[in-house]
């Protein structure tokens, strides 16, 4: 897989050099409006509604139907232009259409640039279960143009930052301390680039070592067992969360549990937890919602039947995999989050 970090003009040149009669772009309504014009190309577009609801059977069927209508064949190249929803959906569609066609990911969100578009995981949601159906399929190219960050609302930008914090926790204390000093809203696209590249390098090394997540790659699920459950529960409410906002709560709980289960330094844990609450929206959850989150976290696809297995840390960069965590411990961590003051 090729990694490319072009400026906008370099991206335009790169795309114009591709054989244009066999290229189709998948985007959502937001990226069609804000990002597609920046490519300066005239490739046909398949456009889907924005948001997590598009990671569904219905939208997948629509994408396949449009590929068919556009006479896509095995020589066709699909370009996924958008955030994590588009790369997940488009990668899955490409991996199953005619048993597989080539695709390129051009993420336009920070979440896509540092996590969702890199690593070869594709898929859709099933009922309220996150990313339950999908394939492991790498794109042919992973193209990050930081200029697209200027198209993002602040909330979307900050959401993506949660995955950078996760990577910093997994890399080590030096990277973590660097991240804890960042004000994400204040950075320019040029300033984001080296941070994104370090994050990409770390994730790619992990993915190469364990593509199908049988061991080492499990560490990338830090904060996701609880985070995904929160995201799924809130999806059906009047106040749905962005992925990173839910993962930030999951990271908070994972650090809290790490203090108690794997001797993570209390003072450092307090700094991380305070930072997470300073940067991300602080949730207020009712008792019945807490119980729903606890129950749904048991359905995480990485668990072992009825045993909830979580990723914890003994210190930054020192990962403890497959830690059995009880219902009471998850509830206690969520309760601590709700009652934590900074």
Within 13 Å of residue 331, how many CA atoms lie on the same side as its CB?
A: 12
Is 213 noted as a catalytic residue in this protein? yes
Region 316-326: mean pLDDT is 97
Does the pLDDT of residue 96 top 80, yes or no? yes
Region 169-184: mean pLDDT is 95
Does the pLDDT of residue 170 top 70, yes or no? yes
Contacts of 318 (CB under 8 A, 6+ apart): none
For residues 114 and 244, what is the distance between their CA atoms, to the nearest angstrom?
Answer: 12
DSSP string, 249-278: HHHHHHHHHHHHHS---HHHHHHHHHHHHH
Is 8 noted as a catalytic residue in this protein? no
Catalytic residue among 38, 130, 243, 256: 243
Catalytic residue among 30, 105, 125, 221: 221
Catalytic residue among 38, 121, 167, 256: 121
Region 169-194: mean pLDDT is 95
DSSP string, 27-62: EEHHHHHHTHHHH-----EEEE-SSGGGSSHHHHHH
The distance of Cα 253 from the centroid of its chain, to the nearest Å, equals: 18
Region 277-283: mean pLDDT is 95
Is 217 noted as a catalytic residue in this protein? yes
Each domain of the chain, given as residue ranges in start order, spans 2-151, 154-339
DSSP strands (E only) in 167-326: 309-315, 318-324
Buried b (16+ CB within 10 A) or exposed e, 252-274: bbbbbbbbebeebbeebbeebbe
Q: What are the two backbone dihedrals, phi and then psi, of residue 144, each rounded to the nearest 5 degrees?
A: -115, 115
- pLDDT above 90 covers what percent of the chain? 92
With H, G, I as helix, E, B as strand and everything else as coil, classify residue 233.
Answer: helix
H or E segment and range at residue 131: strand 129-133
Is 121 noted as a catalytic residue in this protein? yes
CB of 160 closer than 8 Å to CB of 151: no
Strands 129-133 and 124-126: antiparallel
For residues 83 and 94, what is the distance between their CA atoms, to the nearest angstrom?
Answer: 16
Catalytic residue among 99, 181, 286, 288: 99
pLDDT digits (tens, 9 = 90+) for 16-58: 999 877 999 999 999 999 999 999 999 999 999 999 999 999 9
Confidence category of residue 12, pLDDT binned at 50, 70, 90: very high
Is 243 noted as a catalytic residue in this protein? yes
For residues 277 and 262, what is the distance between their CA atoms, to the nearest angstrom?
Answer: 22
For residues 186 and 157, what is the distance between their CA atoms, to the nearest angstrom?
Answer: 11
Is 203 noted as a catalytic residue in this protein? yes
Is 221 noted as a catalytic residue in this protein? yes
CB of 302 closer than 8 Å to CB of 250: no
With H, G, I as helix, E, B as strand and everything else as coil, classify residue 110.
Answer: helix
Catalytic residue among 167, 228, 256, 273: 228
What confidence score (pLDDT) does residue 1 get? 87
The CATH class of the 2-151 domain is alpha beta
With H, G, I as helix, E, B as strand and everything else as coil, classify residue 128.
Answer: coil
Region 266-288: mean pLDDT is 95
The distance of Cα 62 from the centroid of its chain, to the nearest Å, equals: 23
Catalytic residue among 30, 52, 105, 163: 163
Catalytic residue among 138, 166, 203, 277: 203
CATH 1.20.1090.10 fits 154-339, yes or no: yes
**If you average pLDDT over every residue of the chain, what do you get?**
95
Confidence category of residue 255, pLDDT binned at 50, 70, 90: very high
Higher pLDDT, 54 or 342: 54
H or E segment and range at residue 175: helix 173-179
With H, G, I as helix, E, B as strand and everything else as coil, classify residue 94.
Answer: helix
Catalytic residue among 52, 156, 175, 213: 213
What confidence score (pLDDT) does residue 342 get? 53
Is 340 noted as a catalytic residue in this protein? no
């Amino acid at each position: 897989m090729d990694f490319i970090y072009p400026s906008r003009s370099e991206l335009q040149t790169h795309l114009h050099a591709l054989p244009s009669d066999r290229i189709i772009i998948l985007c959502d309504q937001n990226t069609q409006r804000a990002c597609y014009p920046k490519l300066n190309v005239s490739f046909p577009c398949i456009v889907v509604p924005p948001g997590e609801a598009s990671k569904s059977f219905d939208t997948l069927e629509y994408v396949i139907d449009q590929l068919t209508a556009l006479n896509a064949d095995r020589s066709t190249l699909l370009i996924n232009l958008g955030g994590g929803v588009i790369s997940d959906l488009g990668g899955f569609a490409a991996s199953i259409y005619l048993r597989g066609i080539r695709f390129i990911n051009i993420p336009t969100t920070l979440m896509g640039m540092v996590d969702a578009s890199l690593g070869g995981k594709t898929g859709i949601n099933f009922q309220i279960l996150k990313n339950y159906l999908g394939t492991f399929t790498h794109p042919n190219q992973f193209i990050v143009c930081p200029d697209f960050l200027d198209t993002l609302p602040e909330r979307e930008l900050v959401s993506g930052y949660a995955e950078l914090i996760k990577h910093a926790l997994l890399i080590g204390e030096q990277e973590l301390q660097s991240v804890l000093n960042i004000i994400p809203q204040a950075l320019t696209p040029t300033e984001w680039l080296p941070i994104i590249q370090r994050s990409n390098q770390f994730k790619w090394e992990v993915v190469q070592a364990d593509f199908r997540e049988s061991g080492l790659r499990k560490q990338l699920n830090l904060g996701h067992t609880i985070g995904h459950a929160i995201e799924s529960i809130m999806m059906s409410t009047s106040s749905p969360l962005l992925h990173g906002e839910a993962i930030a709560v999951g990271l908070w709980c994972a650090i809290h549990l790490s203090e108690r289960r794997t001797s993570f330094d209390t003072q450092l844990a307090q700094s991380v937890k305070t930072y997470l609450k300073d940067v991300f929206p602080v949730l207020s959850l009712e008792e019945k919602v807490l119980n729903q989150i606890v129950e749904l976290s048991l359905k995480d696809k990485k668990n072992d039947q009825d045993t909830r297995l979580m990723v914890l840390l003994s210190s930054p960069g020192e990962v403890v995999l497959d830690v059995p965590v009880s219902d009471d411990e998850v509830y206690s961590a969520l309760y601590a989050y709700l009652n934590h003051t900074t």
